[in-house]
Amino acid sequence: MKTVDDQTPSDKVRRPGAPATRRDFLAGAAVASAAAATVGMLSQKAGAQTPADGQGAGCEAAPAPLRPPEIERCAAMPATRADFSAKPMTGAQLFANLCKDEELAGFFLCPGNYSIANELAQAGIPTFGGRTEGGMCAMADGFSRASNEVVACSGTEGPGFCHMTMNIAAAHFANTPLLVLASNATMGAEDTQTFLQFMMQQPVTSSIRKYGKRIIMPARIYEYGATAFRQIKTGVPGLAHLDFPRETYAATFKDASEVVRMFNKTQYRSDTRAAPSAKEMATAVSMITKAERPVLVAGHGVYWREAYDVLLKTAERHEMCIVGSGPTRGHVPDDHRLDGSRSTSALMSADLVVFVGQYLMPAVGDYTFPVGVPTIRVHPEQGDLGHNWPIDLGIVSDEKLFIEALGNALPNKKRAAWVNEIASAKKKQDEHELATVQTGLGYSQSTGLLHPSTICKEVHDFLYTGSIDPKQTLTGYGSNLMGAHAGRWLRGFRPGQEIVTYYQFGAMGPDVAMMIGAGAAIQAGIGPQKAYKGAPALVLTGDAGMGFTLMELDTATKYKIPLIAVVYNNNCWGMQFTTKQTPKAEQLYMFQENIRYDKIAEVLGARGEYCKTQQQLHDALGRAYQAAQRDNVSTLINCQGHKDFSLNDKYPGMGGFGPEPGVRAQMH
Amino acid sequence: MNRAAAENRRPIRRRVAAAADRLGAPTQILTRYAERGVFRSFTAFPASGSRAAFSMLWHKDRNFDLIVDVTRKTIHVPVVLPNVAARSPMQREYRRFLEGFHNGELPVHRAIDQRKSVLRCVNRRGSVAITVEVRDGDYAYATEKLLAVIHETYLLFLQLGGYADYMVEHLGGNPDWGK
């Protein structure tokens, strides 16, 4: 076995034309950009000599963005799997084979970490290249939330990795099964300051990952990769971060004997799951049967373990109220008669709560349940039972196995009074939300601008009450003021239909990119999106959060992933109410007014729409949906609002983020 | 002779014992909730005659004082909500919210039976206080109901009622999330 430092130039495994190092790449890029700049200057000069052509003297008609032909060309190429038969394998190739064997569902990156990234693409893993590491990390997260599959993201050492950090944290707190890959500089140059971009990555993610490793022994690259997949896929899913110094990814191996612990996946991990004991089940069944108003909170684990169908059967048999929680919604359908996610008041009547697969436990008082309510918690790992919320019965079990056992053990039971109470509370809450929209409508009419409550209601009516199959469109939401209303009106009618982009970590900004990633999953019809393959994705967001990943509309356009981004443009961060006692600070919260984000979208090859009224929004949604379905084209709908809509003393009656669990939940 | 007069004619030792019995029920209930982790901390001050006082660190990390007075037959929480202007829309809405516990709006298992306990709400210099008048001597019932009312105040009244600004300004809520 040789490490990179031992290699002669002829040893290096390199495809023709591929840059060997980031430095080579940068050098090449510098030449290319210099050439491009020269061409640009020449064309400007030529333009200056061109007579007026209707676009203004001295201006050339700007060509429209073109999708690069490489997208289809690369997609048509066969994938190849490296092996030891012809020549030595690199560490990167070993790792790519591992990812392929583990059926890595998607890979999202911004160039950097070239050897690993290129080998994963070559091995046939669906790979997407975009504009920023942070955006692509969020895209990977969104793809996983929508598809329920393991994904990876990648960036270069140092800067690229740092750019990813916010969205690594967002993925971690949503328990996304995400493999974060980042290259690192050579170990040989460590502590010498002789190489750009060097930093120690692992300490950065120490509190935002399930597993992390800087791989320093080339022969163990496969072993640590396998460990990462074991950590991601077993127990409570989570995030693993591997970083590869050049000595590991570029090392070469003549045969398998030079690689340590290169086992098959059936040997380095197991799919066995914990099942509840008969005694525990008997106790649980007794408690649930005796309860008059039981509520089952179906957490993230119910979605991850695909236990949603058996959950509905079990709940219906015993007439238990069910509420979904987690970073995706829909595994408890919002239109189910036993769904309690819009029956907040009724949840306060529960006399027993059963948490199943609630990976992030609320503290007592965070969830709308009665004070001191008896509680059963079912969780795949013992260590979290009793965390935050005292329990009367704790069961270590796989979520699906528990619900199946419960379904077999519970007797048929009717709870008419409880079902009526849930329905009555839902009706009352819906009426309250409609009254809020009426208030918002008044604000819209008095200002001639769109209030976020009316935007969200219009989107609701468009997606769920017209000719579109209500289960079809994949939605998500972020942003502050928009988010406070979006949860009330977006719906999850089937598993994985709605994504809460800022779940738990509360990151403003990943939402547009995350929903492009989710859009990639529904375009490919992966996992729970299978029945709706090819349907559009829609995100409700704001001008503040959107700014973080707006450029990724280029990525959406490039890959023909149709996203409808409904942007509430209120010319500000929306937090100026915090300056009541410090008015000099108010300017900090303002943007330029009336920025036309729709025009930026057009420049990036997407469509743009501009709306100030509900009717205009309705019409724009129709055109956007048609473009998405027919041509796979994204649209940004710029909904012009008013900065003062954020001020409850001027425009009262709106409220903030609502109680949990339920449609407005974003913390747990 | 009415019941109160009869009570006053009983020997002091027996009266003290009866008061201790009545104070025992709230103490047990509050202790049980404290042990279940409902409160983040809990203090039971030594009882003094017919009065007992407790302090709980509870919603929004606020201290709630609770005073049981078996002579007056009341359980009193002097500050349920701080900084609420008297005669403000919020105060009016809160009174309506409390009326819901008595007027049949809520299901039986959440309502308060007026034959047993009655809620009263006053605003003293901006502090909204709640007193439960215990009508039938069932202090356990009254304590449970009072705790439920405070709990619902924080989880339903404030969060469904659109009081995000209030929670940020007066209860330490996060400005980004309004709660």
User: Could you tell me if A178 and A79 lie in one domain?
Assistant: yes
User: Could you tell me if A456 and A513 lie in one domain?
Assistant: yes
> Is the pLDDT score of A568 beyond 60?
yes
Residues of chain B found within 8 Å of residue A372, distances taken between Cβ atoms: 32-33, 36, 38
> Is the pLDDT score of A76 beyond 60?
yes
| Closest Cβ–Cβ partner in A368, A390, A480 for B37 | A390
- Closest-approach residue (CA) in chain B for A349: B110
Q: Which two tokens stand for residue B22?
A: 């009545």
User: Could you tell me if A262 and A244 lie in one domain?
Assistant: yes
Residues of chain A found within 8 Å of residue B36, distances taken between Cβ atoms: 364, 372, 390
Distance from CA of B158 to the nearest CA of A (A): 9
* Residues A116-175 pLDDT 10s: 999 999 999 999 999 999 999 999 999 999 999 999 999 988 899 999 999 999 999 999
Mean pLDDT of A550-578: 96
- Chain A interface test: which of B35, B88, B109, B163 (most A C-beta within 10 Å): B109
Asked whether residue A62 is assigned to any structural domain, the reply reads: no
Instruction: In whole angstroms, give the CA distance from residue A357 to residue A378.
Output: 6
Distance from CA of A656 to the nearest CA of B (A): 5
Question: Does A433 reach chain B within 8 Å, measured CB to CB?
Answer: no
ipTM above 0.85, yes or no: yes
> Counting one residue from A and one from B, how many pairs have CB atoms under 8 Å apart?
89
* Residues A457-470 pLDDT 10s: 999 999 999 999 99
- Chain A interface test: which of B42, B151, B152, B157 (most A C-beta within 10 Å): B151
Q: In this structure, are residues A496 and A527 in contact, taking their beta carbons and an 8 Å threshold?
A: yes
User: Could you tell me if A178 and A126 lie in one domain?
Assistant: yes
- Closest-approach residue (CA) in chain B for A655: B162
| Closest Cβ–Cβ partner in B36, B148, B159 for A658 | B159
* Residues A276-327 pLDDT 10s: 999 999 999 999 999 999 999 999 999 999 999 999 999 999 999 999 999 9
Low-confidence ranges of chain B (pLDDT < 50): 1
> Is the pLDDT score of A26 beyond 60?
no
Domain containing A152 — which CATH number? 3.40.50.970
User: Could you tell me if A258 and A390 lie in one domain?
Assistant: no
* Residues A375-408 pLDDT 10s: 999 999 999 999 999 999 999 999 999 999 999 9
Asked whether residue A224 is assigned to any structural domain, the reply reads: yes
Could you give the 3-state DSSP secondary structure of residue A89? strand
Q: In this structure, are residues A552 and A130 in contact, taking their beta carbons and an 8 Å threshold?
A: yes
Angle between helices B12-35 and B139-152 (to 10 degrees): 40
Question: Does B36 reach chain A within 8 Å, measured CB to CB?
Answer: yes
pLDDT at B8: 56
Give A594-633 as a DSSP string. T--HHHHHHHTTSEEEEESSHHHHHHHHHHHHHHHHHH--
User: Could you tell me if A462 and A550 lie in one domain?
Assistant: yes
Q: In this structure, are residues A540 and A475 in contact, taking their beta carbons and an 8 Å threshold?
A: yes
E-strand stretches of A256-373: 294-298, 321-324, 328-329, 352-356
Instruction: In whole angstroms, give the CA distance from residue B149 to residue A456.
Output: 33
User: Could you tell me if A576 and A480 lie in one domain?
Assistant: yes
Asked whether residue A596 is assigned to any structural domain, the reply reads: yes
User: Could you tell me if A634 and A499 lie in one domain?
Assistant: yes
Question: Cβ separation of A349 and B110 shorter than 8 Å?
Answer: yes
Identify which has the larger pLDDT, B4 or A339. A339
User: Could you tell me if A252 and A292 lie in one domain?
Assistant: no
Q: Which two tokens stand for residue A523?
A: 């375009």
Question: Does A416 reach chain B within 8 Å, measured CB to CB?
Answer: no
β-sheet bridge partners, residue A323: A297
Neighbours of A26 (CB within 10 A): 12
* Residues B44-87 pLDDT 10s: 999 888 999 999 999 999 999 999 999 999 999 999 999 999 99
Question: Cβ separation of B179 and A348 shorter than 8 Å?
Answer: no
| pLDDT band for position A63 (cuts 50, 70, 90) | confident
* Residues A430-443 pLDDT 10s: 999 999 999 999 99
* Residues A183-199 pLDDT 10s: 888 898 888 887 788 88
Domain containing A329 — which CATH number? 3.40.50.1220
Q: Which two tokens stand for residue A132?
A: 């920023």
Question: Does A667 reach chain B within 8 Å, measured CB to CB?
Answer: yes
Mean pLDDT of A72-86: 96
How much of chain A is helix, strand and coil, in % rounded to 5?
Answer: 45, 15, 40
Q: Cα dist. A33→A24, A26, A29, A67, B136 in Å?
A: 14, 10, 6, 20, 87
Mean pLDDT of A627-652: 94
Residues of B (134-163) whose Cβ lies below 8 Å from A? 147-148, 151-152, 154-156, 159-163
Instruction: Beginning with the edge strand found earlier in the chain, give each strand of the sheet holding A294-298 in spatial order.
Output: A321-324, A294-298, A352-356, A375-379, A393-396
User: Could you tell me if A26 and A160 lie in one domain?
Assistant: yes
- Closest-approach residue (CA) in chain B for A576: B175
pLDDT at B165: 86
Instruction: In whole angstroms, give the CA distance from residue A202 to residue A216.
Output: 12
pLDDT at A49: 36
> Is the pLDDT score of A206 beyond 90?
yes
Neighbours of A83 (CB within 10 A): 12
Instruction: In whole angstroms, give the CA distance from residue A458 to residue B84.
Output: 35
Question: Does A426 reach chain B within 8 Å, measured CB to CB?
Answer: no
pLDDT at A636: 98
A94 Cβ neighbours under 8 A, 6+ residues apart: A221, A222, A225, A253, A259, A262
For residue A331, the enclosing domain spans 278-420
Distance from CA of A222 to the nearest CA of B (A): 43
* Residues A100-120 pLDDT 10s: 999 999 999 999 999 999 999
| Closest Cβ–Cβ partner in A344, A389, A390 for B160 | A344
Residues of chain A found within 8 Å of residue B109, distances taken between Cβ atoms: 292-293, 349, 351
Asked whether residue A8 is assigned to any structural domain, the reply reads: no
Residues of chain B found within 8 Å of residue A479, distances taken between Cβ atoms: none
> Is the pLDDT score of A12 beyond 60?
no
Reported pTM? 0.90
Q: Please tell me the total count of domains within chain A.
A: 3
Asked whether residue A53 is assigned to any structural domain, the reply reads: no
- Chain B interface test: which of A392, A578, A657 (most B C-beta within 10 Å): A657
* Residues A88-97 pLDDT 10s: 999 999 999 9
Asked whether residue A445 is assigned to any structural domain, the reply reads: no
Asked whether residue A654 is assigned to any structural domain, the reply reads: no
Q: What is residue A362's DSSP assignment?
A: P
> Which H/E stretch holds residue B64?
strand B63-69
Q: Which of A491, A293, A277, A502 is nearest to A405 (CA)?
A: A277
User: Could you tell me if A294 and A240 lie in one domain?
Assistant: no
Residues of chain A found within 8 Å of residue B165, distances taken between Cβ atoms: 577, 648-649
* Residues A234-252 pLDDT 10s: 999 999 999 999 999 999 9
Asked whether residue A398 is assigned to any structural domain, the reply reads: yes
Distance from CA of A350 to the nearest CA of B (A): 10
User: Could you tell me if A207 and A299 lie in one domain?
Assistant: no
Question: Does A578 reach chain B within 8 Å, measured CB to CB?
Answer: yes
> Is the pLDDT score of A599 beyond 70?
yes
Could you give the 3-state DSSP secondary structure of residue A70? helix
Which residue bears the tokens 């409808």?
A: A564
- Closest-approach residue (CA) in chain B for A660: B155
Question: Does A506 reach chain B within 8 Å, measured CB to CB?
Answer: yes
Q: Cα dist. B134→B30, B105, B142 in Å?
A: 17, 21, 6
